Amino acid sequence: MTALALEVAEFTLDVGTRRLRALNDVDLCVGAGEIVGLIGESGSGKSLAALSIAGLLPKATGHTVAGAIRVGGVEGASRRAQVGFIFQEPMSALNPALRIDRQLVDAIRARRDADRATARQHAATLLAQLELPDPERVLRSYPHQLSGGMRQRVVIALALSGTPSLLIADEPTTALDVTVQLDVLRLIRDQARERNLGVLLITHDVNVVAYMAARLYVMYGGWIVEAGPTAQVLAAPRHPYTRALLASRPDRVARGAAIPAIDGFVPPLAAVTTGCRFADRCALVEARCHTPSALTVEGDVHIARCWKAGAGGSDAS
């Protein structure tokens, strides 16, 4: 059995002075060379989960954590070196005041012992592997002189520069033109295969997950509410939230028909969670959904945190 690229066990995150529960009892794993999706609305906690895994939570706000995170078999602060992070906004993810070569060389030298010339050589190789034409010109450029797609490739190069075991891609294509979105996704997939990298792909776009990921996790209100093989989850979602999420995909709704929105709002962070976080918006809500014990019904590979996960089936909606 190969080492897992990412192992998150019973991870809980409280933020701010009022200790609000942002992530609750998150269990998550990504195998080497495997692409795993993490989907949810904004505010679901998926980005906080990503930052937690990468050890990038901002210090200023204050937070406490419980549970374990292991990346490439490494735990604690040194796991940060095992993570490559691809950010959403290629426009703002690169430092506008420094040339690309400076940013790449610094990143390479931060993770390994190399002199400037060697590091620069490596940077050029990396850019070439990412199908950037004329790497030398790119290296000499400032970020504003590159197109969005080129910038996102540079961001990917930065993420790969430290030879990580895990790549976290947080909405990697949301900010890009439709025409380059597929290119970037394909690039991430190819790199994962070639380098035997685990990829945690964070997105709100079900189509991206369907295209990329073998398995997926669905997050809601800081909880993982459903997990399983992508095809299985998309075909037969077990959690009412997942069902609602899939039903609201614009491309799945018949022309002219109203897009079925989920009633209510994503719940604000709260100090204590007593029951299912989706209970307030759920059409199938019952009394037991508000009790703490309601949170651990499981299947085999396709699991969901819902009392009705087994019974409801995919056709109930």
Partner 1 sequence: MGAGRADPLMAAASFLVRRVLATFVVLIAVTILTFVISHVIPGDPAQLIAGPRAGAAEVAQLRHALGLDRPLHEQYATYVVALLHGDLGASIVTGQPVLREILDRLPATIELMGLALLLSVAVAVPLGVIAAAARPSPLDTVLRGLSTVAISTPRFWVAMLLLGLFYGALQWAPPSGRLSPGLTPHELTGLLTLDSLLRGDWRLLRDATAHLVLPVAALAIGNIGTFARIIRAAMIEVLAQDHIRTARAAGISQARILSVYALRNALLPFVTIAGLELAGLLFGSVTVESVFAWPGIGSYLLDAILDLNFPVIMGVTLFVSIGYAVINLLIDLSYRCIDPRLRAPAG
Q: Using CB under 8 A as the criterion, which residues of the chain lie in contact with partner 1 when the complex forms? A: 54, 56, 60, 80-81, 83-85, 87, 89, 92-99, 103, 106-107, 110-111, 137, 140-142, 144-145, 147, 155, 158-159, 161-162
Q: Whose Cβ is closer to partner 1: residue 133's or residue 256's?
A: 133
- Non-local (6+) Cβ contacts of 31 within 8 A are 2, 4, 5, 198
Q: Whose Cβ is closer to partner 1: residue 75's or residue 177's?
A: 177
What is the SS3 assignment for the chain? CCCEEEEEEEEEEEECCCCEEEEEEEEEEEECCCEEEEECCCCCCHHHHHHHHHCCCCCCCCEEEEEEEEECCEECHHHHHHEEEECCCCCCCCCCCCCHHHHHHHHHHHHCCCCHHHHHHHHHHHHHHCCCCCHHHHHHCCHHHCCHHHHHHHHHHHHHCCCCCEEEEECCCCCCCHHHHHHHHHHHHHHHHHHCCEEEEEECCHHHHHHHCCEEEEEECCEEEEEEEHHHHHHCCCCHHHHHHHHCCHHHCCCCCCCCCCCCCCCCCECCCCCCCCHHHCCCCCHHHHCHHHHCCCCCCCEECCCCHHHHCCCCC
Q: Whose Cβ is closer to partner 1: residue 103's or residue 242's?
A: 103
- Considering the complex, what minimum distance in angstroms separates the CB of residue 204 from partner 1? 18
Q: Whose Cβ is closer to partner 1: residue 8's or residue 304's?
A: 8
Q: Whose Cβ is closer to partner 1: residue 27's or residue 183's?
A: 183
Q: Whose Cβ is closer to partner 1: residue 63's or residue 80's?
A: 80
Q: Whose Cβ is closer to partner 1: residue 188's or residue 206's?
A: 188
- Considering the complex, what minimum distance in angstroms separates the CB of residue 215 from partner 1? 24
- Considering the complex, what minimum distance in angstroms separates the CB of residue 121 from partner 1? 18
- Considering the complex, what minimum distance in angstroms separates the CB of residue 256 from partner 1? 35
- Considering the complex, what minimum distance in angstroms separates the CB of residue 107 from partner 1? 4
- Considering the complex, what minimum distance in angstroms separates the CB of residue 17 from partner 1? 11
- Considering the complex, what minimum distance in angstroms separates the CB of residue 144 from partner 1? 5
